[in-house]
Amino acid sequence: MAYAIATPTLSVSLLERASTFIANRREAYAQHRLYAKTMNELQSLSNRELADLGLGRGSLHDTAYAAVYN
């Protein structure tokens, strides 16, 4: 009886998984940077400017999160 070793398939699978993991981490980092930038811009607005937009200081995190992740 002969046995086949499937290491090339396993290696390709591991490389694909590693590549996918790195791509996902890069995307998550880019989204986080965009969230931080959005928060900085919103926090730099005055209370009057926020009121003109219909926002309050308490809702900035939710607004930035929705803008980036939804």
Q: Kindly list the domain boundaries of the chain, sorted by start residue.
A: 26-70
Angle at 50 between CA 45 and CA 51, to 5 degrees: 150
Q: Is the dihedral of CA 41, 42, 47, 48 positive or negative?
A: positive
pLDDT tens digits along 6-34: 555 557 799 999 999 999 999 999 999 99
- Calpha distance 56→43 (Å, rounded): 10
What count of other Cβ atoms lies within 10 Å of the Cβ of residue 65? Answer: 13
What pLDDT is recorded for position 2?
67
The SS3 call for residue 70 is coil
The token pair that represents 19 in the structure block: 């590549």
